[in-house]
Structures are given as structure tokens and as C-alpha cells.
């Protein structure tokens, strides 16, 4: 009884083309249509009229193209449509002939033959002048259209695809870990909570404990999703909601873990350099430092780091966690990301493996990005000894019952394993050379910002 399909099935292919691209040519594809008549649709960025010639720059989401109108060759309606009151961000459909031009952005321009205004925009709030950050963030839904924002978010999208590709190619199984969790997490003081059918649920700060559980099923796993910190931080490195990728590997120790991190970070940087060169140019990123990123990354133990900081006049004492300022000093020593490893037990989370060579410390590492971007990775070998893990849970006064299932992983076939978490926004901020993580996510959430 279903009615017959009304379209031609032969038009549907399993390739990379589908129907919408038949109606409009995408601007990025114009150089392949030299001399042809095409129709594009997009938004007006600028209009300049010089007497009897006019230039409209159109953005269609795949690129920018300059459209040239010559008055004497067009009907009065088309000429007027393209030159009078054609406000910024108006939606237009333009038919014209493709001309290659090396000077044009994207390599082609359009000799206009027809123009239709699909929607005339009101006066656009964002003008090519200095707006304050709060104003721009209030208009984030429109600010996304600006060239630097587009470029930054394209790099983000490339990096996120690269994350999936890296682990997929290496046989990792993706495990989507829950956001709504019972009473677990690193620090109850920085958890968002919600009423959950009579119980209290907390928004996950990490998927780590869950990916650990998946190791005996899949050996190498990772999760990648949003994580939450209800921190009252207003620094340029903090978001309340950010994306983190967390691989976890069975039978890998802390040394293996750092090797994986080197390989992973190098892969992400190479991928961005390889496929986002235009975007990095828009962002005026000096890529000379990025081009040097390859293993091995320099390594410094926490103890060495404290001695180094003290030699530079810091009053840091052994045992205290490193702060942002400390990290900046340490990372300045190298153009590569720098490992700081084996922190004091009391400065780190309960699940980290005691260092057999120095039980005051745990087998862990942070990875500090160069150029002052600070910590982009935190990782560790996990405590696989049931009794030591229980001792740590009790020392930290954590709710033992909530960790029963996690302790089970040490009761039924415990195993050496390690993993880490890489923060996407901080990594993309470093790669793009942007000062603040808030531009590295489409709709940032900060202490004082929940909209748009």
C-alpha cells in the first residue's frame, strides 16, 4: 500500500554526490567549471559599485566568490537587484559564467547573468569594526559566519575527524560513556547535578572509569564526548562544557601511554597542517613550530620540574601540583609539547598507579603544549591492585559503595592498563594559535554564559 517512490532511483548513487549539488554548484567546485554557466546560492558579504560595474562577494558555506555585474550586459531589474539596497547577509541566487582568475579567492569569479534576491537581510549587527567579546558572544549564532570563526571551527572539525580516524585505523573500539552518572567523579565540588526520577545524577567529568571496564572486552578502546566542570574559573583555558577524547589500553604501561600520546598528538597536528592550510592562513598562524612536532617529545619528571622552577626563583615546594604559571615556564623550554611525569600521589587522582620505584609518586603524566597553551593531556597508568585502590579510595574519603563496580575490574582479571584524556578545545587553540578556548567550540559555555 505505500505509494511508489516518486523520484528516479538512478539519480541516487552511493558515491559522493547527491541531488542538492545538482541544483546549485558549490563555490569550492567552481574552478572545475571554467567557461560554464552555473547557478550558486549564498549570502552577500560585500557589495561595491564602481559606476557601471559592480562586485558582489558571496559566501555559500563552501567558499567565497566574487560576482561581477556589468550594467550594459544586464537587464535593469538584475542590475538594480544587485546594486541597490542589497544588504549584507542577504540570501541570493546568482547565475553566471565561471572565469578562472588567480587573483580571486578560491581561483574563480562569476560573470553575472542573472540574480535573484531570495531574502533581504535586516541591518546586520556585526560590522567590520572592533566589537567587544561579550557583544560577539551574545551574537555567537551570527558571529560563526565571520571568516576567522569559520576557519577556527573548520580546524576543530578536521581535528575531531582525525581523532576518530586515528583510533579506528589502530583497531580501537569506540565506547560511548554515559553523561548521567551516579556519585562518581574526581571532585564532587565541581559537578553539575540533576534530579533523576527521585535520585541525583551528576554530569560526567570523564568517561575514564567506563572505558576501563570496556578494556577486557575490546582491549583498546576510547570515548569522545562532552564533559562538564562546574568550576568557577574565568581563565582563557576553561570551559564548563568541553570535549575530551579518552583512550584506554589493556596491557599498556605508563611508558606505552606516553608513546601513544606522542603519536596521537603528532597525527592531529600533521592532519591539520595537511588539510587546513587555508584556514591556518586565514588565522595568520605561524606554523613553523607545528611543523617540528614529532616524537619523541621532551620529558621531565615532576621532581626535575620542581627543581627547575626553584632554580628560576619559584617558591614551589615538592608535593604541590603545578599551576598554569608553572606550566608556562616549563613549556617555554621546548618548541615541542613537553611531558611532565610521575607527580606526587597527593596531587593526583585516586586511581593512578603507585610508582614502584618511588611510592611517594604515581605513574602519570601531563602533556604541556608549547607557546604557553598549557596542559592538553592528563594521563596515567591505573592502579590495578585491589587493596591499594581500596586504600586510596578510603584515604580520599570517597563513597566506596559507588565504586563497587569499578573495584570489580580488579576482582575479575585485573590487568596493567593506561590511558589519558586530551582536551579538544585547548588542542585546537594551540594548533590555530588562538588565545582563548571559547572560540574553539561552536557555542561555548562559560561560568557567565549559557546562551545562545
Span 343-372, contacts to its own copies by CB under 8 A: none
C-alpha neighbours within 13 Å on the C-beta side of residue 315? 0
- Residues 6+ away with beta carbon under 8 Å from 447: 231, 232, 233, 234, 240
Build a one-symbol-per-residue string for 81-110: x at contacts with its own copies by CB under 8 A, - elsewhere: --------xxx-------------------
Q: Which is nearer to its own copies, 71 or 299 (CB)?
A: 299
Given the rule CB under 8 A, which of 224-232, 277-285, 316-324, 345-353 is the region that contacts its own copies?
A: 224-232
Give the span between the Cα atoms of 77 and 41, in whole angstroms: 18
Give the span between the Cα atoms of 263 and 267, in whole angstroms: 6
- Count the residues of the shown chain that bind its own copies, applying the rule CB under 8 A: 135
Minimum distance from residue 73 beta carbon to its own copies (Å)? 26
> Is there a contact between 167 and 267 (Cβ–Cβ < 8 Å)?
no
Build a one-symbol-per-residue string for 235-254: x at contacts with its own copies by CB under 8 A, - elsewhere: -----xx-x-----xxxx--
Q: Does 190 bind its own copies (CB under 8 A)?
A: no
Q: Does 443 bind its own copies (CB under 8 A)?
A: yes
Minimum distance from residue 220 beta carbon to its own copies (Å)? 7
Tracing cell 544586464 back to the chain, one arrives at 74
Ramachandran region, residue 437 (left: φ > 0; alpha: ψ -120 to 50; beta: rest): alpha
Q: Does 41 bind its own copies (CB under 8 A)?
A: yes
Q: Which is nearer to its own copies, 72 or 448 (CB)?
A: 448
Beta bridge partners of 56: 47, 67
Within 418-437, the residues that bind its own copies by CB under 8 A are none
Beta bridge partners of 340: 300, 366
Cα–Cα–Cα angle for 196, 201, 206, rounded to 5 degrees: 145
Cα 323 from chain centroid (whole Å):
23
Among 95, 287, 334, 391, binds its own copies (CB under 8 A): 334
Among 53, 133, 144, 325, binds its own copies (CB under 8 A): 144
Secondary structure of 427-441 in HEC code, one letter for each residue: HHHHHHCCCCHHHHC
- C-alpha distances out from residue 23 to 6, 34, 93, 314, Å: 18, 18, 11, 64
Given the rule CB under 8 A, which of 333-341, 343-351, 352-360, 428-436 is the region that contacts its own copies?
A: 333-341
Residue 102 CB coordination number (10 Å): 6
Q: Does 129 bind its own copies (CB under 8 A)?
A: no
For the chain, give the number of residues.
452
Q: Which is nearer to its own copies, 288 or 311 (CB)?
A: 311
Given the rule CB under 8 A, which of 68-76, 121-129, 353-361, 388-396 is the region that contacts its own copies?
A: 121-129
Q: Does 338 bind its own copies (CB under 8 A)?
A: yes
Q: Does 171 bind its own copies (CB under 8 A)?
A: yes
Give the span between the Cα atoms of 234 and 282, in whole angstroms: 27
> Is there a contact between 220 and 264 (Cβ–Cβ < 8 Å)?
no
Minimum distance from residue 288 beta carbon to its own copies (Å)? 20
Given the rule CB under 8 A, which of 21-29, 69-77, 107-115, 349-357 is the region that contacts its own copies?
A: 21-29
Q: Does 174 bind its own copies (CB under 8 A)?
A: yes
Among 132, 189, 313, 413, binds its own copies (CB under 8 A): 413
Given the rule CB under 8 A, which of 101-109, 129-137, 261-269, 346-354 is the region that contacts its own copies?
A: 261-269
Amino acid at each position: 500500500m505505500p505509494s511508489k517512490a516518486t523520484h528516479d532511483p538512478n539519480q541516487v548513487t552511493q558515491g559522493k554526490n547527491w541531488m542538492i549539488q545538482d541544483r546549485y554548484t558549490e563555490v569550492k567546485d567552481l574552478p572545475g567549471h571554467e567557461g560554464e554557466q552555473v547557478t550558486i546560492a549564498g549570502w552577500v558579504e560585500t557589495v561595491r559599485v564602481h559606476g557601471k560595474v559592480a562586485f558582489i562577494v558571496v559566501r555559500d558555506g563552501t567558499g567565497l566568490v566574487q560576482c561581477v555585474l556589468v550594467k550594459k550586459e544586464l537587464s535593469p531589474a538584475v542590475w538594480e537587484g544587485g546594486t541597490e539596497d542589497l544588504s549584507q547577509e542577504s540570501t541570493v541566487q546568482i547565475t553566471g559564467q565561471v572565469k578562472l582568475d588567480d587573483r580571486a579567492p578560491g581561483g574563480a569569479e562569476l560573470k553575472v547573468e542573472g540574480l535573484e534576491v531570495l531574502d533581504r537581510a535586516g541591518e546586520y549587527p556585526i560590522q567590520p569594526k572592533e566589537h567587544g567579546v561579550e557583544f560577539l558572544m551574545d551574537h555567537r549564532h551570527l558571529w560563526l559566519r565571520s571568516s576567522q570563526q569559520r576557519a577556527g571551527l573548520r580546524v576543530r572539525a578536521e581535528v575531531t575527524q582525525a581523532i576518530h580516524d586515528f583510533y579506528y585505523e589502530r583497531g580501537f573500539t569506540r565506547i560511548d560513556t554515559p553523561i548521567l552518572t551516579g556519585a562518581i567523579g574526581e571532585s564532587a565540588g565541581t559537578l553539575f547535578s540533576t534530579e533523576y526520577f527521585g535520585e541525583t545524577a551528576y554530569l560526567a567529568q570523564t568517561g575514564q572509569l567506563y572505558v576501563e571496564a570496556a578494556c577486557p572486552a575490546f582491549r583498546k578502546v576510547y570515548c569522545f564526548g562532552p564533559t562538564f566542570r562546574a568550576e568557577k574559573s574565568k581563565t582563557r583555558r576553561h570551559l564548563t562544557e568541553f570535549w575530551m577524547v579518552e583512550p584506554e589500553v589493556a596491557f599498556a604501561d605508563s611508558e606505552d601511554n606516553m608513546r601513544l600520546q606522542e603519536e596521537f598528538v603528532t597525527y592531529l597536528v600533521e592532519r591539520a597542517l595537511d588539510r587546513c592550510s587555508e584556514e591556518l592562513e586565514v588565522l595568520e598562524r605561524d606554523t613553523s613550530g607545528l611543523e617540528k612536532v614529532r616524537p619523541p617529545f621532551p620529558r621531565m619528571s615532576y621532581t626535575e620540574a620542581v627543581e627547575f622552577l626553584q632554580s628560576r626563583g619559584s617558591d614551589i615546594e615538592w608535593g604541590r601540583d603545578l599551576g598554569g604559571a608553572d606550566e608556562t615556564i616549563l613549556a617555554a623550554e621546548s618548541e615541542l609539547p613537553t611531558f611532565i611525569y610521575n607527580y606526587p600521589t597527593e596531587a593526583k587522582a585516586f586511581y593512578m598507579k603507585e610508582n614502584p620505584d618511588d611510592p611517594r609518586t604515581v605513574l602519570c603524566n601531563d602533556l604541556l603544549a608549547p607557546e604557553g597553551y598549557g596542559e592538553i593531556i592528563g594521563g596515567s597508568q591505573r592502579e590495578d591492585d585491589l587493596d591499594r585502590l581500596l586504600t586510596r579510595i578510603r584515604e580520599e574519603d570517597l563513597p566506596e559503595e559507588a565504586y563497587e563496580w569499578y573495584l570489580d575490574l580488579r576482582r575479575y582479571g585485573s590487568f596493567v592498563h593506561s590511558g589519558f584524556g586530551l582536551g579538544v578545545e585547548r588542542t585546537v587553540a594551540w594548533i590555530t594559535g588562538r588565545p582563548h578556548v571559547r572560540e574553539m567550540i561552536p557555542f561555548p559555555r562559560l561560568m557567565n554564559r549559557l546562551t545562545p
